[in-house]
Amino acid sequence: MNRRRAFKIRDRGPIFTAVVYIVMFIVLLACTLPFLYIIAMSFSSSDAILKGKVSLFPVDFSVEAYRQIFAYPHFFRAYKNTILYTVCGTAISLVLMVLFAYPLSKTRLKGQKFVMKLVVFSMFFSGGMIPNYLLISSLGLTGTVFAMILPFAINQFNLIILVNFFKSIPEELEEAARIDGLNYFGILIQILLPLSTAALATIGLYTAVFFWNDWFYGLIYLNSELFPVMLLLRNIVNGTTMVGEAGGVGDKASVAIAVKSAVILTSTLPIILLYPFLQKYFVKGMLVGAVKG
Amino acid sequence: MKPNKNKGGIVSPSARRRYINNYWQLYAMMLVPLLYFLLFKYIPMFGNILAFRRYKPLTGPFGVSWVGFRYFQMFLKDEGFIRAFYNTLTLSSMNLVINFPVPIIFALLLNEVQNLKFKKLVQTFSYMPRFISTVVVISILTELLSPSSGVLNRLLQDAFGLEPIYYMNEPDYFRALYIITDMWQYTGWSAIVYLAAITGINAELFEAARIDGANRRQQVFYVTIPTIMPTVMVMFILKVGHLLSLGFEKVLLMYTPANSSVSDIIDTYVYRMGFQSSANQYSYATAIGLFSGLIGLILVSSANYLSRRLTGESVY
């Protein structure tokens, strides 16, 4: 029956449209409800959480959990560490990748093809976890800030995005600049970089998100005073680290839940807040990257 | 125009001088990044020889004496490894079967949304989980599923009177939870490629189909899907190529001794052998890592080769 109706309306049947919109609403809910739940938990009183009254909105609004994590010195330390790794890591990464990608975008440069092959090969075969760890430790980087920043500065995927971007800039621009007496460093800084802000924003964002979200390398390379916030969160959630007055009052579990939720929220906040403004860059990068490198 | 037309090799000394004069700056520019790249990507690659050598603490990353294939023979007989290998293949093929079609369906449906503002909204929200840290995803999951306070157990208890279940600890639920969180995190993001392919379809094809009396649904089945098939093929082959590489960090976060019978995969096994066993069996762990790395390399190259043969498109 809906088949006949679909034919009558010719272009799109109502059932078809309904299915489409229902699915889209489910997707929207799936992407937002978990966050609403965490927000609600973090702002609810421990009593309400314990009685199981909290679902999507805070019950007995309370900022107790936030008061506790802000009074907890390790939280700020970890947050500061994460900011340090993200800012330094992204800066070093961008400088190195620009300096690498520009020469690699010159196909007439001898050796360019070979280096590109090395880059691509290293995407599919790498030293495993242990050789990497042993390299970092024999360089004396374990237990230092550098272990979190240096090994990840060149990401092959982002590098290829940048190389392709530089290739797409018309050669004539550079030739004109060379006739005017600019050398390659000058061309890169004065001509290419101003044209590449979108590409740089894209790979800069990917890099920053990587550094912000990283926890595993903190786990194997660092000791606790250098832990990034994601590792602290992981330790709080799996019970390795206790926060606040968890040992004090009788409603231990419920305080812990509110505190966990508050840590989840505060550690993701920068990404959630910045995301809407930056998402067009993210998507652009995905599409450039999908074009073969 | 450029002095070095001869790409294959520089013949005369003067041409070589000209070439160097022209390009030394580019070489100088990439010197530091290149050395850096070789240090952090290629030295560990050579570090894989540790798989064939005995490791001694404080003697550097390459081991002290050759032992041949001893570690390989050891792990091939190791039941823990065999279980991890089986778990890896099972989890990733289940994940592939379920999570490969989902982004395609999502992209097809999203493309049917006429209201552009709403479409944009859905897109924006659906990409977001990709940028959330795995730690946060698993922490949220743990809270939602908590047996004492989690909303799921509470709802099931209220509605059906079910006893609370500690889902994160139950081997029976591990794979499902892994697959569902992957779906949550990556569906929107993976759909971008397909959406781009759909947008690239020549509008005349739809025009012709409409003139022939095809409704919207028929257009999807007889125009859109066949046209994006090459993209689908390439993505599928790629996914098969990466069959051995699961989201190691996520599995490690979800790993508990109670669910280890299904959640111990190759990478977590390597991690435990290297860092958590009392002996720090670096050589043994390296051998396992190298083995799975080589299988991965073979899978990727054959997938790429197949893709080139079948669709004329190779990704690398």
The residues with which B53 forms a beta bridge, in sequence order, are: B66
> Long-range contacts made by residues B146-155, C-beta under 8 angstroms, separation at least 24?
B146/A257, B148/A253, B149/A49, B149/A50, B149/A52, B149/A253, B149/A254, B149/A257, B151/A37, B151/A55, B154/A52
Q: Which residue of B has its CA nearest to A135?
A: B61
What is the predicted pLDDT for the residue at B11? 64
Mapping DSSP to helix (H, G, I), strand (E, B) and coil, where does residue B58 land?
Answer: coil
pLDDT of residue A289: 54
- Which DSSP string do the residues of B110-138 spell out, in sequence order? HHT---HHHHHHHHHHHHGGGGS-HHHHH
pLDDT the model gives residue A2: 44
Report the percentage of chain B scoring pLDDT > 90. Answer: 38
- Give the distance from residue A144's alpha carbon to the nearest chain B alpha carbon, in angstroms: 16
CA distance B70 to A66: 54
Grade residue A224 by pLDDT with cuts at 50, 70 and 90: confident
B131 CB near a chain A CB, below 8 Å?
Answer: yes
Winning range, highest mean pLDDT, from A51-55, B1-5, B151-155, B188-192: B188-192
| CATH superfamily of the domain spanning B73-311 | MetI-like (1.10.3720.10)
Q: What is the pLDDT of residues A31-42, one digit of tens each?
A: 999 999 999 988
Does residue B305 contact residue B93 with C-beta atoms inside 8 Å? no
Q: What is d(CA B250, CA B126) in angstroms, rounded to the nearest whole number?
A: 20
Q: What pLDDT was estimated at residue A242?
A: 64
Q: In 3D, which of A61, A68, A163 has the Cα closest to residue A117? A: A163
A73-232 has which CATH code?
Answer: 1.10.3720.10
With CB atoms and an 8 Å threshold, state whether B154 touches A209.
no
Q: Which two tokens stand for residue A106?
A: 């010159």
Is residue B303 over pLDDT 60? yes
For residues B109 and A105, what is the distance between their CA atoms, to the nearest angstrom?
38
Residue A245: exposure state from Cβ atoms within 10 A (0-12, 13-18, ≥19): middle
| pLDDT band, residue A244 (cuts 50/70/90) | low
Confidence check: pLDDT of B2 > 50 = no
| pLDDT at A56 > cutoff 50 | yes
Nearest to B127 among A9, A135, A283 (CB): A283
DSSP letter, residue B41: I
pTM score, whole prediction: 0.87
| Contact in structure between B38 and B27 (CB atoms under 8 Å) | no
* Residues of B whose CB is below 8 A from A150: 40
**Which residues of chain A form CATH 1.10.3720.10?**
73-232
Does residue A252 carry a pLDDT above 70? no
Tell me how far apart the alpha carbons of residues B51 and A225 are, in angstroms, rounded to a whole number.
33
- Domain coordinates in residue numbering, chain B: 73-311
Q: How many helices (H) and strands (E) does chain A have?
A: 16, 0
Q: With cut-offs at 50, 70 and 90, classify the pLDDT of residue A6.
A: very low
pLDDT digits (tens, 9 = 90+) for B162-185: 888 888 888 999 999 999 999 999
Q: Is B39 exposed, middle or buried (0-12, 13-18, 19+ CB in 10 A)?
A: middle
Instruction: Tell me the per-residue pLDDT of B208-231, one tens digit each, with 9 for 90 and over.
Output: 998 988 888 888 889 999 989 888
**Alpha-carbon distance A272 to A35, whole Å?**
10
Tokens of A133: 């760890």
In chain B, the residue whose alpha carbon lies closest to the alpha carbon of A29 is B125
Give me Rg for the CA atoms of chain A. Answer: 25
Question: B24 — contact with chain A (CB < 8 Å)?
Answer: no
Residues B192, B186: Cα–Cα separation, whole Å: 10
Type of residue at B238:
L
| A11/B29 touch (CB, cutoff 8 Å), yes or no | no
Q: Could you give the CA distance from residue A228 to residue A230 in angstroms, rounded to a whole number?
A: 6
Q: Are A15 and A2 in contact (CB under 8 A)?
A: yes
Two structure tokens written together for B142: 């743990």
For A18-40, what is the mean pLDDT? 92
SS (H, E, C) A13-68: CHHHHHHHHHHHHHHHHHHHHHHHHHHHHHCCCHHHHHCCCCCCCCCCCCCHHHHH
**ipTM, 2 dp:** 0.86
Structure confidence at residue B316 (pLDDT): 60
Judge: A253–B118 Cβ closer than 8 Å, yes or no: no
Look at B109 and B233; give whichever has higher pLDDT: B109
The residue-averaged pLDDT of A230-248 equals: 70
Closest CA of chain A from B149, distance in Å: 6
Task: Classify the C-alpha dihedral B263-B269-B274-B280 as positive or negative.
Answer: positive
- Give A77's pLDDT tier (boundaries 50, 70, 90): very high
CB-based contact B238:B162 (threshold 8 Å): no
Tokens describing residue A163: 């190389």
The span from the CA of A8 to the CA of A14, in Å, is 11
DSSP letter for B85, please: H
Identify which has the larger pLDDT, B79 or A50: B79
What's the CA gap between A78 and A86, in Å, rounded? 12
A271 to chain B nearest CA, in Å? 7
Choose among A12, A21, A216: nearest Cβ to B249. Answer: A216
Q: Are B64 and B53 in contact (CB under 8 A)?
A: yes
What would the pLDDT profile of B13-68 be if each residue is shown by its tens digit?
A: 888 888 887 888 899 999 999 999 999 999 999 999 888 988 877 777 788 788 88
Q: What pLDDT score does A290 carry?
A: 52
In this prediction, residue B288 carries a pLDDT of: 93
Distance of residue B216 Cα from the nearest chain A Cα, in angstroms:
5
pLDDT tens-digit readout, B229-280: 888 888 887 788 788 888 899 999 999 888 989 999 999 999 998 888 766 6
The answer to whether the CB of B53 falls within 8 A of the CB of B63 is yes
